[in-house]
Structure 1
């Protein structure tokens, strides 16, 4: 197993794409063990792609890309600015609200961060917000996107760990609101310290707020429809994904009438690229997971962690910190796929709730998208805004601290995660 880990690390340092690094590391194990049939990697790879529940992943990706071409995002931005534009650093606060509302639309932190950087980055800097903080808040704000249903990470975790996806969807709402509140406080403190002006002089009148809510109502209803459909038992996760696609088409063609032939083609093209990347990672991770089980890696890790003083909470803190550190160099999707079969049995053996752990795990894994050295959302935003990583990192420190405090709160106060699942599902 040490050879596999060393090969994986070496391949990453060489700049090899993560999917090929995973496949190459697994191949090294089978080459070193000729007694094992060489058909096992092929069988594991093919079997991994035959899970019917995974059908929800491409369907939600397609729905999100379709909604991005319907005018929904523009209407949500108008709603966010109307509600929060009177606060200092108004556009920064609006960007956080937009990320919260976009959680039910895109499901992708990287897509959300890139979209917001193009929409809001220049306007925020024109209003005096520093380039580094602009990039940091647009990047970190997108952590809300995968936590609000239908986050792709929840579907992967639920499918791999045999955890109710409906309960995970419900469990993500309150933690997302806590993340939003913590980031909003960090933005407010920075805005007051630096004297950044509000977007508008006074709070919007009631009539304007009602009009903005009406314009963004269809997007706000999206996660509600998902939860009701799953709670009622009328839809499975895969079927709710198909409903999401139909919903996006109806919004774009019938309601707003802004989904053009070109927009539909662009959405399909983006979807094919996104699905290809995600499904390749899922497929090639299967042989590596087989190797870990064969080498009893989960039991070894469990033995190292179980001895920590403090019980379940101490183990969850240790796991969260380890996942955050791993996220500095490994993509969140990869971490969820690779570590769920290892960590979830450990948490269950200690009496932990898999839904509670899943939300903490997904947030911890997602943090790596916004931190050096390989944060995908960070590099996307910094590239669009022409911002250096050192300036970004300095400005992002209070936002990182805010997220870490929320993670600790979720570990020690599980009812923050489990209240809605218990009430709804």
Structure 2
């Protein structure tokens, strides 16, 4: 009862639409008020302790870097580069949408931020060129799911912190899955566009000179992920320090290279970054208290013992976890799922001998899929609210992308080398 009631309160509040952070806080508060003899100060201490980590500084730094990039003119340069690379393909502007999400994943680190940017910049232009608004929204939302597994995704930092997994390894692990998802999504867009007659935006393939010119214009921004990954790998700086470097680099590009950042845009960017960072960090803060009382009540240990008695192989365990997370992701926000459930499931995965980095990528990608599924998908709602598309129309168009995402999830889950190849090559097995 000491666990069931607080967890029940938490889930009920989630379902009635209360913000994630307040739902977790009230669930935790009910435990300390009615089911524990511990002083209330203990809850406050555990919540404050949840933020006492240098690693968490990477989150506001990378959020800020992504916002600065969006306000510094980098987006339009990346769009031009993507147009030159893919504009000659069927559904040229939809292909640009997918490729842009992949490139921006190394800059924004947030699937919601990427979806919002695509919905504002690309969907209106796609509609002008004859694409349906619902298909344009579906492409934008689905391609935004590449962002969490392309380094330096914010989800990777949160997962690494919560489960004590190397953030550097997680960054490396996302490279191959992200690239495969980009390629497979572009193939799907090409197939749909050919059937519907969505034409290229260029009559012929861009020349090498045109590509080189647009690449030069966008190169300064595209080198940021390489700087971050290379610096972490060779010990030049930590993931946290990499976030600070990303901020300085973004400001340098905005003020001195592209010269599109001014004091007004800087102030607006700081406000946007502060609100976004506070939202994520507040969830982590209250979740620290929630996960602590679960540990006191032996929930992770009991769950691990129960699962290992019922499930006799790691393959079946992964199947059960994936189905469970896909269902949960339909109702709960991705970061909340990760913060609440990852500390419970990661130790069980370790008991089955599953590589912690591999399980982390599976967990992160699975949580991302939930953001484009009804009834509470955050990326779905973000995209549709900007493009004014009905959820019902969006769901019809996003179904082929769901099938692709589920297939990719199965591949990442049961072929560990997809996510472990690069980190093992770089760091050693």
Please classify the TM superposition score into its range, dividing by the shorter chain length.
over 0.9
Please report the TM-score for the alignment, with normalisation by the length of structure 2: 0.96
After superposition, the CA RMSD in angstroms is 1.3
Q: Which consecutive segments of 4 or more residues in structure 1 shift more than 3 A? A: 307-310
Name the CA shift for 1:313/1:294 in 2 (closer, same or farther; >3 Å): same
Aligned pairs, how many? Answer: 425
Q: 2-side partners of 1:206 and 1:34: how far apart?
A: 68
Tell me if structure 2 keeps the 8 A contact 1:369–1:378: yes
Q: 2-side partners of 1:185 and 1:306: how far apart?
A: 40
Residues 24-43 of structure 1 aligned to structure 2 (within 5 Å)? 24-43=26-45
Shift in Å, 1:320:
2.0
State the SS of the aligned residue for 2:71.
coil
Partner deviation per Cα, 1:158-215 (whole Å, 9 max, x = no partner): 1111111111111101000111122112212211121111111111111111111111
Structure 1: give runs of 5+ residues left out of the alignment: none
1:278 equivalent in alignment to 2:289: no
State the SS of the aligned residue for 2:106.
coil
Match of 1:305 in 2: 307
Structure 2: give runs of 5+ residues left out of the alignment: none
Match of 1:46 in 2: 48
Name the CA shift for 1:69/1:307 in 2 (closer, same or farther; >3 Å): same
Shift in Å, 1:148:
0.8
Tell me if structure 1 keeps the 8 A contact 2:314–2:354: yes
Q: 2-side partners of 1:127 and 1:223: how far apart?
A: 32
Q: 1-side partners of 2:248 and 2:263: how far apart?
A: 16
Tell me if structure 2 keeps the 8 A contact 1:83–1:209: yes
Partner deviation per Cα, 1:97-116 (whole Å, 9 max, x = no partner): 00000011111111111111
Q: 2-side partners of 1:373 and 1:237: how far apart?
A: 35
Match of 1:379 in 2: 381
Residues 182-193 of structure 1 aligned to structure 2 (within 5 Å)? 182-193=184-195
Please report the TM-score for the alignment, with normalisation by the length of structure 1: 0.97
Shift in Å, 1:243:
0.7
Shift in Å, 1:33:
2.1
Match of 1:252 in 2: 254
1:164 equivalent in alignment to 2:166: yes
Tell me if structure 1 keeps the 8 A contact 2:50–2:289: no
1:149 equivalent in alignment to 2:142: no
Tell me if structure 2 keeps the 8 A contact 1:100–1:148: yes
Residues 319-398 of structure 1 aligned to structure 2 (within 5 Å)? 319-398=321-400
Residue in structure 1 matching 2:201, options 194, 199, 202 = 199
Tell me if structure 2 keeps the 8 A contact 1:101–1:219: no
Residue in structure 2 matching 1:100, options 102, 114, 118 = 102
Q: 2-side partners of 1:31 and 1:399: how far apart?
A: 45
Q: 2-side partners of 1:308 and 1:191: how far apart?
A: 46
Shift in Å, 1:34:
4.3
Partner deviation per Cα, 1:69-111 (whole Å, 9 max, x = no partner): 1111110011111100111111111100000000111111111
